[in-house]
Structure 1
Amino acid sequence: MSEPTSAANTPSAPTPVLSVSPVVLPAPGRAVELQVRVSAPVTGSELPILLLSHGHGRSNHLSSLNGYAPLANYYAARGFVVIQPTHLDSKTLTLDSKDPEAPLYWRARAQDMKRILDQLDVIERAVAGLAGRLDRSKVAVIGHSMGGHTASLLLGARHTNSPDGTEVNFAEPRIKAGVLLAAPGRGDALSKFAAENYPFFSTIDFSTMTTPALVVAGDKDDSAYLTVAGADWHADPYFLSPSPKSLLTLFDAGHGLGGVSGYDVAETTDENPERVAAVQLLTWAYLRTALYPGDSAWQEARNALTGVAGPLGRVESK
């Protein structure tokens, strides 16, 4: 799927990218220091910030700051400063499996993103040529799979603590828009395995997820080990949250959405470069227009999606 011609004329046309890792951020109380990768265009100023949360996959390194190159490279080449943390659930870390937050560390994941925003000064000093180039008023978040759950919390979704019933709220007002890729859905549709091993999923409430967001779901992503609802489960964050929201449904796409977690990776079951290109373009365009109202990128990308031979998917909004 090629980009609309007019997109090449925007300030976010592809440029060379500088990527630095690891940038180590102090994290008092965390099991280990927080390591991030920072990818940024080598030119430009007043650059928007995009936090990218990795999934909890079976691979050893994709679930870390070293994964998701197809997305990070694309966004950075088109004007975003992309910041990727290694969350505590990453297999690159050897943490105590008896930790009550293990194995998914859902709270720590959201806290990681807040720590990053709290320490943008540290990041600017650590990356040569980045100082003074960030627009801190334009921050977005994107996450895949478990990273999509992390993004949903930062966008306003909430959990209920058990047994005391208190509400857990990680909504981050500094984040103005987000994208959920193959994210978990409603809590009453969990598989037996998920209910027993990841009980926090059962209390998710999307009705408070008020920040604008694009939900991306594959219509072949049945995720049977997590849900009994089939592929529709991954669209729940769209249907169960208030507007403004958009839903991109990708035809014949599995959980990897064509291969967004890495180039030619073994865990992608639906390898499809054209599908990845569609995800890249549409998610970038959505975030650009969400952060810069009036920008035509999102409408142009939607037109491109419906204009190709054999459409790759459909978009609906509310």
Structure 2
Amino acid sequence: MWHRVPRPEDGGVTEIIAGLSMSPPEFLSVLGAVALVVARWLPPAARPRVTIAAVAVFALSATVLGVVGIRWQLLPVLAGAAVALPFALSPLLRPLRRRPGRPAWRARWWLALPGSAACVGLIATGPVAAWAFPVPVFPEPSGSFAVGTRVVQWTDPHRPETFTADPDDRRTVVVQLWYPAQKGPAGARRAQYLGRTEQEARTVSDALARGVGLPGFLVDGVPQARTHAVFNAPVSGGDERFPVVLFSPGSGGVRTQNTAWAEELASHGYVVAALDHPYDSAAVVLDDGGTIRTATASTGDRDADEELAAGWTAVRAADLGFVLTQLESLDRAGNTDPLTGRLDTGRVAVTGHSMGGAAALQAARQDPRFDAVIDLDGYPHGPATPALHQPVLALTQAITPSTDPRFLPRLTEALALDTATSYRLTVPGAAHLTFMDGPLYLPPVPPIVGSLGRAGGPHIVAATTLAFLAATLRHAPGDLAGALSAYGNLSVHHPDGRP
């Protein structure tokens, strides 16, 4: 199976083989390198032709890669080929150097076999590394709208920045909007993943890698990816007003961490506003080019960390309320913004992943403008009161002995106190990072990203949240509980206490 992956260097696309996450030149370089090793073991009559063909294929593919850029995953392939090349060419060149009458010397098989095996092992490391750390391929949005995106920066003049000592510093947030757009030309340049520019994407990618203790080069394919949205695309025609969905990322997460989900929602007629929370998000690149890095860190003491997390959650909740106010202002008549008059701020959901889910719950408690809440595997930090009055969808991974024993009781308490019907859906095979873009580019190891495959997690998150939003914001008829239960184990909390 083949996919087309945009490359930022030329604004074009490079096809890749989906199973191996390798482009045709990369795949050919692997085949050429393997052929160089195998040629030594072929019958003498076939050996010269195979060797010459292998050298030609490898040289051509390596030249192409040198032009478009070589990923680190291909370095073992190049090294293995470099070791095998002299031994592959030697039998072809030896007759030119051998004296007449002297027999040709060739290494015994038991001497050559370990070297050949070592070269094949080295070459095989390349495809394995490319499979484990691919350039992410984003699912094609399934809705009827094309998707546009843009980034805005807003400063709250009434709220001091609590992470700095400057009394004049005011809280600033960076927000990325995904919205229904007009369909553009087939060759329209797609938006960079993780940033407005390649430099911003690499800054964010490196910060995310450092946050989880990985060397930045391991995920250097992530900032190469492009999504399905088009920056600053014209808003979809007509006068339809679109419901609004706000999103807060996980601790150390960034506004783009759920891009696949945001694009899917926008293609179905929602405007998604995802926040960077400065000093909490891994790296926030401001309009002036300055970068704010995370200043939050746990202490290792459970009670102290819970108090810190509750404070950070409160800041995030205030950010969410502020952004909704800005969106209301943007929508008012008299503005010249392309989204003016197109935002239905009377139908708003607040969502978040991990700590962002906790922030969504707190924002909904404090602000009745939020009509629905989605918590993506978020521990409910902060107070459980006042009670929620909005329908809630909580998606969680399976509860295991390693799960914080306080998680399920606190989440159950929040849902049980809700005066609206709420839902907890436990997704089999999910891990904490299943609920973001992580499965698209991290090693497919179940404890890290779950066992649902590269696209399985993003698909389930999008399908369940779309069903929930259709029922709560658009009041679409249908059996919401039945639709949700198709994806996992569902618990429904009714406001009258009935099961």
Structure-2-length-normalised TM-score? 0.47
Pick from 26, 34, 48 the counterpart of residue 155 of structure 2: 26
Structure 2 CA distance, aligned partners of 1:18 and 1:127?
Answer: 17
Question: Is the deviation greater in 279-288 or in 232-241?
Answer: 232-241
Change (3 A) 1:122 1:207: closer
Alpha-carbon distance, 1:174 to partner: 0.8
- Aligned pairs for 1:286-305 (under 5 A) are 286-296=468-478, 298=480, 301-302=483-484
Q: Report the counterpart of residue 273 of structure 2 in structure 1.
A: 83
- Write out per-residue CA displacement over residues 158-198 of structure 1, whole angstroms, 9 at most, x where no aligned residue: xxxxxxxxxxxxx111111111110214xxxxxxxxxxxxx
Q: How far apart, in 2, do the equivalents of 1:246 and 1:266 lie?
A: 29
Cα pair distance change 1:206/1:97, threshold 3 Å:
closer
Pick closer, same or farther for the CA change 1:295–1:139 going to 2, 3 Å. same
Q: Deviations over 1:236-277 (max 9, x none)?
A: 543454441112111122212x25244624384315222331
**Helix, strand or coil: the match of 1:110?**
helix
1:16 aligns with 2:146: yes
- Hey, what does 1:106 align to over in structure 2? 313
Q: Deviations over 1:200-240 (max 9, x none)?
A: x4x5315612211111111156664xx23576765554345
The amino acid of 1:131's aligned partner reads: T
Amino acid at match of 1:150: A
Once the two structures are TM-superposed, the CA of residue 296 in structure 1 deviates from its matched residue by 3.2
One-letter amino acid matched to 2:179: A
- Partners of 1:230 and 1:205 in 2: CA distance: 13
Instruction: Please name the residue that 1:182 is paired with.
Output: 377
Q: Distance in 1 between matches of 2:247 and 2:336?
A: 18
For structure 2, the 5+ residue unaligned runs are 1-141, 162-169, 182-235, 284-291, 298-303, 495-499
Residue 5 of structure 1: aligned partner: none
Q: Deviations over 1:272-291 (max 9, x none)?
A: 22233122111111012101
Query: Do the aligned partners of residues 24 and 222 (structure 1) sit closer, same or farther apart at CA in structure 2, a change above 3 Å counting?
Result: farther
1:90 maps to a residue whose letter is: S
The residue that corresponds to 2:215 in the other structure is none
Whole-angstrom distance in 1 between the partners of 2:422 and 2:387:
13
Shift of 1:77: 0.9
Query: Where do 1:151-166 residues align within 5 Å?
Result: 151-156=360-365
Three-state SS of the structure 2 residue aligned to 1:208 is coil
Q: Which has the higher contact order (CA 8 A, sep 6+)?
A: 1
Q: Root-mean-square deviation (CA), in Å?
A: 3.2
Deviation of 1:109 (Å): 0.4
Indicate conservation of the 8 Å contact 2:379/2:407, yes or no.
no
Q: Please, which of 255, 260, 284 is the counterpart of residue 436 of structure 2?
A: 260
1:211 aligns to 2:390 (yes or no): yes
Identify the residue that residue 168 of structure 1 maps to in structure 2. Answer: none
Q: Distance in 2 between matches of 1:265 and 1:240?
A: 38
Are residue 36 (structure 1) and residue 245 (structure 2) matched? no
1:120 partner amino acid: L
Closer, same or farther: CA 213–259 of 1 in aligned 2, 3 Å: closer
- CA change 1:126–1:55 in 2 (3 A) is farther
1:116 CA displacement: 0.9
Distance 2:429 2:399 in 1: 5
Counterpart pick for 2:359 among 143, 150, 162: 150
Instruction: Confirm or deny that 1:283 pairs with 2:465.
Output: yes
Which amino acid in structure 2 is aligned with residue 264 of structure 1?
Answer: L
Q: Is the 8 A contact 1:219 1:232 kept in 2?
A: no
Pick aligned residue for 2:368 from 168, 173, 183: 173
Moved more, 207-216 or 258-267: 258-267
2-structure distance, mates of 1:129, 1:279: 29
The equivalent of 1:139 in structure 2 is 348
Match of residue 270 from structure 1? 450
More helix by share: 2
Alpha-carbon distance change, 73 to 127 in structure 1, aligned in 2, over 3 angstroms: farther
Residue identity opposite 1:204 in structure 2: P
Aligned pair count reads 260
Question: Which consecutive unaligned segments of at least 5 residues does structure 1 have?
Answer: 1-11, 58-62, 157-170, 186-200, 307-311
Once the 2 structures are TM-superposed, how far is the Cα of residue 46 of structure 1 from its aligned partner? 1.1
Matches of 1:234 and 1:218, distance apart in 2: 13
SS in 2 for 1:179: strand
- Which amino acid letter does the alignment assign opposite residue 450 of structure 2? D
Q: Structure 2: which amino acid aligns with 1:153? A: Q
Fraction of identical pairs, as percent:
24
Distance of aligned partners of 1:121 and 1:210 in 2 relative to their CA distance in 1, 3 Å threshold: closer
Q: Look up the equivalent residue of 1:248 and give its one-letter code.
A: L
Q: Distance in 2 between matches of 1:18 and 1:102?
A: 36
Q: Distance in 2 between matches of 1:284 and 1:127?
A: 30
Hey, what does 1:46 align to over in structure 2? 241
Change in CA separation of 1:178 and 1:74 when aligned onto 2, cut-off 3 Å: same
Q: For the pair shown, which has the larger CA radius of gyration, 1 or 2?
A: 2
Q: Distance in 2 between matches of 1:206 and 1:181?
A: 20
